[in-house]
Amino acid sequence: MASLVRQNTLLLVGGFLLVELLVSLFFALFLMLPLARRAADDLAGLMILAAQTWAELPPRTRPAFEHELWENHRLALRAEPAGMGIDEWHPPFFYLLEASLSRRLGAPRHLASETVAGTIWYWADLPAGSGTLAVGVPRERIATQPLVAFVLALGCGFLFAFGSAVWLARRITAPLARFEAAAASIGQGERPCLLPEEGPHEIASLARRFNALAQQVRDLVSARTTLLAGVSHDLRTPLARMRLALEMLKSNPAPVLIERLEHDIEEMNDLITTLLDIARGLEREPAAETDLAALLSELEQEALAQGRKVHRHAVSCHQAVAQRALRRALGNLLQNALRYAPSGPIDLVCEMRGDRIRLGVLDRGPGIPPDRIAAMFEPFQRLETSRSPTTGGAGLGLAIVRELAKAHGWQVALEPREGGGLAAWIELPCASPRA
Check whether 412 has a pLDDT greater than 70: yes
pTM of the model: 0.47
Residue closest to 332 by CA, chosen among 263, 403, 415: 403
What is the arrangement of strands in the sheet containing 311-314, beginning at the earlier edge strand?
311-314, 346-353, 356-363, 422-429, 411-416
Write out pLDDT tens, residues 193-240: 777 777 777 777 878 887 887 777 776 666 666 666 656 656 776 777
- Domain 4-148 is found in CATH 3.80.10.10: no
Do the Cβ atoms of 367 and 383 come closer than 8 Å? no
**Higher pLDDT among residues 289 and 271, named by residue:** 289
The residue type of 307 is G
Q: Which CATH class is domain 285-429?
A: alpha beta
How far apart, in Å, do the first and last CA atoms of the chain sit? 62
What Å distances lie between residue 266 and 48, 263, 269, CA to CA?
A: 120, 5, 5
Write out pLDDT tens, residues 25-53: 787 778 778 888 898 899 889 988 988 89
What mean pLDDT do residues 103-110 have? Answer: 85
Computed over every residue of the chain, the mean pLDDT equals: 78
Separation of alpha carbons 51 and 65, rounded Å: 11
Write out pLDDT tens, residues 354-367: 778 888 899 888 88
pLDDT value of residue 64? 92
pLDDT value of residue 87? 58
- Give the least confident one: 48-57, 242-251, 271-280: 271-280
pLDDT band of residue 435 (cuts 50, 70, 90) is very low
Per DSSP, 392 falls in state: -
Q: 380: which residues sit within 8 A by CB, 6+ positions away?
A: 226, 227, 229, 230, 233, 234, 394, 395, 396, 399
Q: Structural domain boundaries of the chain?
A: 4-148, 285-429
